[in-house]
Amino acid sequence: MKIVKRSGEEQDFQIEKIRAAVTKANQTVEFKNALTSQQINAIADYVYGICEARDRALSVEEIQDIVEKRIMQEHAYDVAKKYITYRYVRSLVRRANTTDNRILTLIECNNEEVKQENANKNPTINSVQRDYMAGEVSKDISSRLLLPEDIVQAHEEGIIHFHDMDYFAQHMHNCDLVNLEDMLQNGTVISGTMIEKPHSFSTACNIATQIIAQVASNQYGGQSISLTHLAPFVQITREAVRKELKEEFLFADAQIDEQKMQELVEKRVRAEIARGVQTIQYQVVTLMTTNGQAPFVTVYMYLNEAKNEQEKADLALIIEETIRQRYEGVKNEVGVYITPAFPKLIYVLEEDNIDPGSKYYYLTEMAAKCTAKRLVPDYISEKVMKQLKLSKDETPGNGDCYTCMGCRSFLTPDRSGNGYGNIAHAKNYDGKPKYYGRFNQGVVTINLVDVACSAGRGNLDGFWKIMDERLELCHRALQERHKRLEGTTSDAAPILWQYGALARLKKGEKIDPLLYGGYSTISLGYAGLWECVYELLGKKLTEPEGETLGLKIMQVLNDACAKWKAAENIDYSIYGTPLESTTYKFAKCLQKRFGIIQGVTDKNYITNSYHVHVMEPIDAFSKLALEAKFQKLSPGGAISYVEVPNMQNNIQAVLQVMRFIYDNIMYAELNTKSDYCQECGFDGEIEIVKDESGKLIWRCPKCGNTNQSKMNVARRTCGYIGSQFWNQGRTQEIRDRVLHL
């Protein structure tokens, strides 16, 4: 059995330390008020039993809380007072050097909390350690100097989560929808070097990857680019190839008919497309940005985004090659093809590709095969999105279809009616609804489970009262995020604000106009709707009463954002938080505050956003149909998924799910498994088991290998694919997932 020290280091549980601590406090009180040795042993045994039953490594603070309460239960109030006083004095001493200790454990790679905080960061690498070290300093400065005390306290207690506090000290924001078209067509500047319009497709792809790396190093969230913005360079390549071939045949004094010429041109064009797509694939996977990880980048594939039929046909060639290369995978260190985490792919289901016999249905079939093997692409329904995302004066069915900024963060529709009047000074502005070049300011998440538990079972009046208080707390926290960006000059991140990724402002110009009027969004996240409803009603979201209450809660969140937006002209929006490490943090905080409540706090994780609980038996179509109702009320971002077995031999079933997505839900994905054991060559599902200490570990079912450095595991974590393993809470959630097909 393990414990987690305050520094984050994990150690074996030692019952002797419990006895010693209680004994020391006991020795300072009068004999008549002291505990007996039998009582001290009983307290230690009780604490041991609680720790063992929790099915996770408890923190020192949690253990001390249990000790304190148990001493009180023995009516040894003087001993409890001494124990509490000792804890307080020690906390004052620690307050001066907590950051130092955490940084030291980072350097020595024995901080278990941070090691498993991000499923796409390897904490043994210097650049990752450097980023984490800077993050610890930033969190320390933010919590002591920059943020109000009550917001920091609520964050630490898991009442809310102030996302990415490790970047808050800097004037940085969350997610971007990169205006790649402007940068490629009109030029950009990277590290002081002018980059002009490329003259070939492969060069355009190379520049795109450089832009991706630069953007990732100047913000802390996800970013998205569209393959449509690369499509015009296929025709440029085609014309260059035709000219080159003509010169070659002229030089050789040879004749060639037009049909043969066309075949040779297209062959070389396809080879160029393959090189360009490979550049994106390998560059993104191998790039290491300043925060020590590959860029969290999404690649968008939307045929109807093309400006004409020729561009659409060329875009189809790029999409085909992108899916083909992703299906193949990338080689790991031993030369075996595995599933890469990035880039994330999104494929739009639309009229031209959804029905058998439609012009681009072959791409949809390729996408289905790729999803079954490599977990991507994910799917956006053009049909449903155009019903929901309505810019000014647009009607349902005639709205906008566009990609998210990361794994799920969506911009609000363009409410200006004129593309914002080009306040970003983009060179490709055309007056139409604008999405590329916009961004998200940041996220604060409300823990809905804590609101429900604070009110208590059946106390709906109390719940709504506490909800109002917590929403106002979140509102103030979001205002802090907004104020931190106000006054930021374009010089802070030239690639973003001066050279086209988001804007083309002048040097020294403030970004403030881009923070208002809906050009950028700011997100009120939410987590644990499933457990919240169950605590209040004893009903599940899948039951009529639970669904009704769940939808009402979602509407209240939307109403709060609408009120704030009207008052401040800032686009607050509801966001289905992609909890990664925070799911474990929230669960631990809930257990500390409320104990173990069956069906509510009895897991080491809480449910993401509005999702049906991972252990709930439900078929894929019922799950998607139900969650579509909640996704509609999560306009700032949300994604639904279905968990499936190995579907590589049942592609028709995958296509059936994709068709259901097209007709019923805006954004969804299929989760499968894609693992490899480097010790024995096993290519299947690596299992999750408990070791001797009760800790969840990954083990090859064939050879028993438990060395994480000798296996490749890919799992959907929260929209993105994770490949560096997870904390105990998220690992338990992954283990508990049931199949929906």
Polymer length of the chain: 741
Tokens standing for residue 213: 């790396």
Q: Which residue stretches of 196-308 are H helix?
A: 201-216, 232-251, 258-286
Catalytic annotation, pick one of 575, 605, 641, 720: 575
Cα–Cα distance between 734 and 519 in angstroms, integer? Answer: 37
Catalytic annotation, pick one of 580, 627, 669, 733: 580
Does 407 qualify as catalytic in the annotation?
yes
Cα–Cα separations (whole angstroms), residue 512 to 163, 169, 476, 516, 567: 22, 18, 19, 7, 17
Residue 359 CA neighbour count, 13 Å, CB half: 10
Strand ranges in 530-616 using DSSP code E only, listed in sequence order: 571-576
Cα–Cα distance between 102 and 118 in angstroms, integer? Answer: 17
Q: Is the peptide bond before 343 cis (omega within 30 degrees of 0)?
A: yes
111 three-class SS:
strand
Does 554 qualify as catalytic in the annotation?
no
Cα–Cα distance between 179 and 602 in angstroms, integer? Answer: 45
Q: One-letter amino acid identity for 410? A: F
Does 174 qualify as catalytic in the annotation?
yes
Strands 521-527 and 571-576: parallel
Distance, CA of 420 to chain centre: 28
Tokens standing for residue 45: 């045994």
Tokens standing for residue 701: 């079912």
Cα–Cα distance between 382 and 662 in angstroms, integer? Answer: 7
Q: For residues 586 and 158, is the Cβ–Cβ distance under 8 A? A: yes
Catalytic annotation, pick one of 111, 440, 558, 609: 440
Which residue shows structure tokens 């086209």?
A: 500
Catalytic annotation, pick one of 165, 405, 561, 666: 405
Cα–Cα distance between 462 and 451 in angstroms, integer? Answer: 9
Q: One-letter amino acid identity for 340? A: P
Spatial neighbors of 108 by CB under 8 A, at least 6 apart, are none
Catalytic annotation, pick one of 224, 391, 409, 608: 409
Strand ranges in 382-472 using DSSP code E only, listed in sequence order: 440-447
Catalytic annotation, pick one of 51, 175, 205, 666: 175
Q: For residues 220 and 174, is the Cβ–Cβ distance under 8 A? A: yes
161 three-class SS:
strand
Distance, CA of 365 to chain centre: 27
Which residue shows structure tokens 């148990």?
A: 70
Tokens standing for residue 347: 């494929």
Does 9 qualify as catalytic in the annotation?
no
How many other C-beta atoms can be found within 10 angstroms of the C-beta atom of residue 577?
A: 29
Cα–Cα distance between 299 and 167 in angstroms, integer? Answer: 25
Does 175 qualify as catalytic in the annotation?
yes
Catalytic annotation, pick one of 407, 467, 554, 718: 407
Q: One-letter amino acid identity for 13? A: F
Tokens standing for residue 479: 């205002």
Q: One-letter amino acid identity for 540? A: K
> Which residues lie across from 301 on neighbouring strands?
347
Residue closest to 561 by CA, chosen among 443, 463, 464, 450? 443
How many other C-beta atoms can be found within 10 angstroms of the C-beta atom of residue 157?
A: 13
Instruction: Using the CB atoms, write b or e for 284-301: b if 16+ within 10 Å.
Output: beebebebbbbbbbbbbb
Catalytic annotation, pick one of 118, 143, 174, 291: 174
Does 693 qualify as catalytic in the annotation?
no
Torsion angles phi and psi, residue 117, rounded to 5: -75, -40
Residues annotated as catalytic are 174-175, 405, 407, 409, 440, 575, 580, 719
